[in-house]
Amino acid sequence: MKWDDIRRSEYTGANRCWPCTSVNLGLVGLVALWLYRRDRRVGALAAAAIGVAAVAVRGYVVPYTPQFAPRLVETLPLPGDPFGKGPERDIPESASLTGTDLDGTAVLQELAAAGAIEADGDLIRPTAAVDREWRGQMDRLAAEPLAALARDAAETVPTMDELDTHVDENGEWLVVDGGLVARPVVVAELAAYLALAGTVEDQQVRLAGARAFRMFLDSCPDCGTELVESSAVSCCGGYTDPQTKPEDVLVCPSCEQRLFTIPT
Ligand SMILES: [Zn+2]
């Protein structure tokens, strides 16, 4: 058996789930204490050492921990939010303002041909004028209340008419074709659609481009918080198939919204 078979990187390192880890360390401690009380000190020491080591390299030792630990921890009367349910929590992907079935590579080629994006070494980025316009529009839209944002979107994007709004404990949303589009996504896409007006003629490319522009975000278009790169599915999210890699995503830790899913 190789070390890589023993170590489970999907549950350790940056992917470590702290509710699972602490519940497991607690259970390891209880087993050790139980053995110790029964005067089996060597056994107690061994159980503690092996248990802690296993939690360190495998994330957890108790089977099915991801299924029960987060809920268990949630019910504990702990002060504050010791496990920081920020970006580690699984944040579902928001819907988009723009429905399109254009291929991503084709969209980037069209945007480049139109002069909206350019290569910068290994990276691509918006050209300076488009970038300036995009960021200016985002600042303007971020200041609008939700109803005004909905009106703005409906008036700007020809594929849309009147848009419903929705507010819940997870934030503010526009209802587009039955899907919920998170406010930061609305701000980013609507601003990009406006910024592409001068350069991209084709309506479909402009819509798809507005969506693709979210990959260029480094801070939240709505609240300004720096975005963090995170794994879409942490241990508690049910990532069980070792053949599929979890998606990498850009999330705003303040709004708890996913701004972009990085293609793998
Ligand atoms: Zn935000």
Can you give the pLDDT at residue 89?
59
78 has pLDDT over 60: no
Rounded mean pLDDT of 151-168?
Answer: 92
Give residue 142's domain range.
104-223
Can you give the pLDDT at residue 4?
67
122 has pLDDT over 60: yes
172 has pLDDT over 50: yes
Non-local (6+) Cβ contacts of 163 within 8 A are 150, 151, 153, 154, 174, 175, 176
Residues 62 and 112 in one domain: no
- Count of structural domains, the chain: 2
Cβ proximity of 231 and 194 under 8 Å: no
Q: Which of 34-43, 115-124, 163-172 has the lowest mean pLDDT?
A: 34-43
Q: What is the mean pLDDT of the chain?
A: 81
Can you give the pLDDT at residue 72?
63
Can you give the pLDDT at residue 233?
58
Whether residue 237 lies inside any domain: the answer is no
Residues 114 and 215 in one domain: yes
The Cα 130–Cα 106 span in angstroms is 19
Give 32 Cα–ligand 1 centroid separation in angstroms: 44
Whether residue 197 lies inside any domain: the answer is yes
The Cα 117–Cα 107 span in angstroms is 11
Residues 66 and 130 in one domain: no
Give 209 Cα–ligand 1 centroid separation in angstroms: 21
Residues 219 and 174 in one domain: yes
Give 63 Cα–ligand 1 centroid separation in angstroms: 36
Whether residue 229 lies inside any domain: the answer is no
Can you give the pLDDT at residue 175?
95
Residues 47 and 113 in one domain: no
Q: Given pLDDT bands bounded at 50, 70 and 90, which one contains residue 11?
A: confident
Residues 217 and 113 in one domain: yes
The Cα 118–Cα 107 span in angstroms is 13
Whether residue 16 lies inside any domain: the answer is yes
For the segment 181-214, what is each residue's pLDDT rounded down to a tens digit? 999 999 999 999 999 998 999 999 999 999 999 9
Residues 108 and 200 in one domain: yes
Residues 22 and 132 in one domain: no
Give 227 Cα–ligand 1 centroid separation in angstroms: 8
Can you give the pLDDT at residue 77?
55
Give 25 Cα–ligand 1 centroid separation in angstroms: 34
For the segment 55-65, what is each residue's pLDDT rounded down to a tens digit? 777 776 666 66
DSSP bridge partners of 258: 251
